[in-house]
Amino acid sequence: MIRLEGIVKTFHPGSPDAHTVFQGLNLEVGEGEFVTVIGSNGAGKSTLLNLISGKIFADAGRVFINGRDMTKLPEYRRAQYVGRIFQDPLAGTAATMTVEDNLMIAAKKGFRGLRISLNKKQRETFRNHLAHLDMGLEDRMKDNVGLLSGGQRQALTLLMMVLSRPPLILLDEHTAALDPRNAERVMDLTRIFVGDYGFTTLMVTHNMAHAIRYGSRLLMMDRGRIVLDVGGEEKAGLTVEGLVKRFSELGATASDALLLTRGGEV
């Protein structure tokens, strides 16, 4: 589904600020895998997602999505393959538009050119979807999104992503700005949607308990390298304590481990 081959990326090459993030990164993610990604600050997690989405280009190496070489395709040409949610709840929705108009935009994208209109039946469908989120949004369809809470906006962003049906979803600490209760709810919805629709998923999180509890495979990154890559039974056997220990073994960046949220024992 995703294949990264020999990715090299240096920011500000040739200047005193030059910073090499990746020096030949390889990664393969299979169809339907749900990969959680943890790592110290500046490890390259967001840069990894940026390279996949086409927000930035690699200096060398190749990016394949669905078997297609997308290395040189700009972000808008990859958009039909990639759904992305950021930490900032304001980023995924249009604040000055109503809830139902936001959903309509996403649904149009999902129907890929087929004509759909915001009629009574479509509104009813949206209302049902919103009710399932259990965030009180089904009664706010005519409200501007700017009036919603962060948790509601992030749940709406998730639903919009589902309606637009990208095969691949990239989540970048998408619950980090929410209070614990809303973070848990949005994580629950994420798990349900990924399970129901089988999206191939990369989820960056600073919450080690979430990284263990969710997904089928876990990657730990450190200074542009993947230092741990576990799935299956081995992932199921991971503990927060174990991950903290792995972090400390990384030496120079051990203190970063303390910046990660332990998120409670699992």
Site residues for ligand ADP per CB under 6 A? 11, 19, 21, 39, 41-47
Distance in angstroms (rounded) separating the CA atoms of residues 27 and 75: 20
Taking the least distance from each CB to ligand ADP, the nearer of 44 and 166 is 44
Cβ neighbours of 134 (radius 10 Å): 12
- Tell me whether residue 45 or residue 185 sits nearer to ligand ADP (CB atom): 45
What is the rounded distance in angstroms from the CA atom of residue 248 to the CA atom of residue 80?
40
Q: How far is the CB of 207 from ligand ADP (least distance, A)?
A: 14
Choice between 46 and 53, CB closer to Mg ion: 46
CB of 46 to Mg ion, least distance (A): 3
Q: Can you tell me the distance from the alpha carbon of 16 to that of 13, in angstroms, rounded to the nearest whole number?
A: 8
* Closest separation in Å from C-beta 69 to ligand ADP: 23
188-227 positions binding Mg ion, by CB under 5 A: none
Residue 246: what residue type?
R
Closest separation between CB of residue 22 and ligand ADP, Å? 9
Q: Which is nearer to Mg ion, 141 or 177 (CB)?
A: 177
Tokens of 155: 């749940």
The 45-74 site mask, x for binding Mg ion (CB under 5 A), equals xx----------------------------
Residue 140 interacting entry, from Mg ion, ligand ADP, none, C-beta within 5 to 8 Å by type: none
Question: Pairing state of beta strands 217-222 and 34-39?
Answer: parallel
Locus of tokens 């989405």: 53
Q: Which of residues 19-48 bind Mg ion (CB under 5 A)?
A: 45-46
CA angle 162, 208, 172 (to 5 degrees): 35
Choose between 109 and 174: whose C-beta lies nearer to Mg ion: 174
The count of residues in the chain is: 266
Both tokens of residue 55? 């927000």
Specify the DSSP class assigned to residue 146. Answer: G
Instruction: By CB under 5 A, name the binding residues for Mg ion.
Output: 45-46
